[in-house]
Amino acid sequence: MNSYAVRTDALGRRFSETDALRDLDLEVAPGTVLGLLGHNGAGKTTAVRILTTLLEPTAGRAEVAGHDVARAPAAVREQIAVAGQDASLDERLTGRENLMLLGRLQRLSKADAAARTEQLLERFGLADAAGRLLGTYSGGMRRRLDLAACLVVRRPVVFLDEPTTGLDPAARADMWGAIADLVTEGAALILTTQYLEEADRLADRIVVLSGGRTVAEGTPAELKRRVGERRVHITLDAFEEAARRLDAEVDPRARRVSVAAPNGPDDLRRILDALDDLDVEEASLAQPTLDEAFFALT
């Protein structure tokens, strides 16, 4: 059991009439990332609140870093870091002062706190802004400092609740780089997200939740495969004619037709032959995206 950073067995939580979470089975190894993926109300936050000891389960059990969340919550809390709360930061301090303060509060020596602070500022691209008050930080910088804050003292299990919600694409990409780095330190990461691309990029395994239940589970590649076959996408002006000939799905705005291609390159060749007299602008053979997978699964 101890070889898992997180392990749950038929974990559940009921609020009067609502099953917020049902029969959740997880096994997360150290140094790996689990993505909990789902829309609003799917049960992600409920799962994280149970695993971080903020909420008691009403069914099943969960162990975090070898400790039962219901029977030994204090021991669990000593082993975890939780980001995405934004609560531990002080607006009136600089980025550097915030990290130093947190290090000192957690009983690091002054020298250790200073060394860890500089290391984290550097790692999260905040070294240049370290002397500025938190109040002047952009949303992306603030989110990176929040992540740094929960890492001042190293913990084996890190929870990131929707770490990039509300960030623009550039800030999101920065954040993804920072998160990917974390795993190299050997921590297990539990990441909740509504973004398929985020789970695809960062997670080793994904659990898809819907209405509190696990509707799919696997690696990003497995989930994509399970949902179905490859497809050929063709862009051309004569998309209506192409759709008629191929009995294909049409996206008129993109001037694109799409057809299932279980035989891969053979299908691509056959389809291009069938459109030989039309002016094809672009043709591709693609695995379904995680987006398509998600909507097929829930």
Ligand X SMILES: Nc1ncnc2c1ncn2[C@@H]1O[C@H](COP(=O)(O)OP(=O)(O)OP(=O)(O)O)[C@@H](O)[C@H]1O
List residues binding ligand X (CB under 6 A).
Answer: 15, 18, 20, 38, 40-46, 194
Let me know: does 10 contact 24? Beta carbons within 8 Å. Answer: yes
d(CA 137, CA 129): 8
CB of 19 to ligand X, least distance (A): 8
H or E stretch covering 105: helix 95-105
Nearer CB in complex with ligand X: 159/239: 159
Nearest approach, Cβ of 46 to ligand X (angstroms)?
3
Please identify, using beta-carbon distances, which residue of 98 and 193 lies nearer to ligand X.
193
> CA-to-CA distance for 22 and 115, rounded, in angstroms?
43
C-beta of 119: minimal distance to ligand X in Å? 32
First to last CA, the chain: 31
Structure-token pair, residue 246: 């191929």
CB of 111 to ligand X, least distance (A): 40
Q: Which is nearer to ligand X, 124 or 159 (by Cβ)?
A: 159
At 84, list the tokens.
């995405």
Token readout for 69 is 């969340």
Least separation, in Å, of the C-beta of 66 and ligand X?
Answer: 25
Burial of 272 per CB tally in 10 Å (0-12, 13-18, 19+)? middle
Beta carbon nearer to ligand X, 50 or 236: 50
Among residues 42 and 191, whose Cβ is nearest to ligand X? 42
Q: Mind giving me the DSSP string for 168-179? A: -HHHHHHHHHHH
Return the H-helix or E-strand segment holding 223.
helix 220-227
Name the minimum Å distance from CB 36 to ligand X: 8
Cα four-point dihedral sign 176, 178, 184, 185:
negative
With respect to ligand X, which residue has the nearer C-beta, 143 or 230? 143
CB of 41 to ligand X, least distance (A): 4
> Considering beta carbons, is residue 83 or 141 the nearer one to ligand X?
83
Q: Which helix (H) or strand (E) holds 199?
A: helix 196-202
